[in-house]
Structure 1
């Protein structure tokens, strides 16, 4: 499925800006912030503004096509991968990694039994990534 069809599958009307932003999210699994997305795309789309990026990401989130991560207290990051997974942020380098977790239904079953209606699940972990641990151990 191409990006145009992907947006349509979430009931989002494709535009040049929306296609470019979603394409960036789907191809870059770095959990970028608004500034990163804007800087990456503004050279190819001179009419793009940070406001457009912000509003487009807000639209993607409202329609379920992307997720906003608030693992970092300083700024929000965005993830085009809407499958159920957790995130790990390295306290040394700041990178955010996708990590597997229990399925959404397994998580929801635990709380649903107690009468809760689950609409979102966020799992964030913080620590030191293997790359930074290796550098630390080498020094």
Structure 2
């Protein structure tokens, strides 16, 4: 089975590795080290704590009246996971069997899941990511069974 998690590269270019949460947090902290803007420094600290999996309890972090940025909410990780699955759904090798039919079907599933999340008809973003992933797994299995015939 081909690896569908990596986008097809054009020419001799290599895919660029995404930085880890810790690397991003360190870069943000380095850029804000001399900042006199309290909110920016607080968010940089939150990023760093989250990357180290040492985030304070949500109830204690808002007790001081500070509002958390949208990226710091627990749903942010689920949204990121959902986006990764949508990207996987829309990434097929161009030489894949029945490329157009499969891509159209996958785009439809991705659209349905994203519409449910955006329309607030779905309370569980993680469930939608799992649903889409199961559809992709079934599609891959069907394609492999068809190739064996």
TM-score w.r.t. the length of structure 2 is 0.25
TM-score w.r.t. the length of structure 1 is 0.26
Q: Which has the higher helix share?
A: 2
Q: Which has the larger radius of gyration?
A: 2
Q: Which has the higher strand share?
A: 1
User: Which of the pair has the greater relative contact order for Cα pairs under 8 Å at 6+ separation?
Assistant: 2
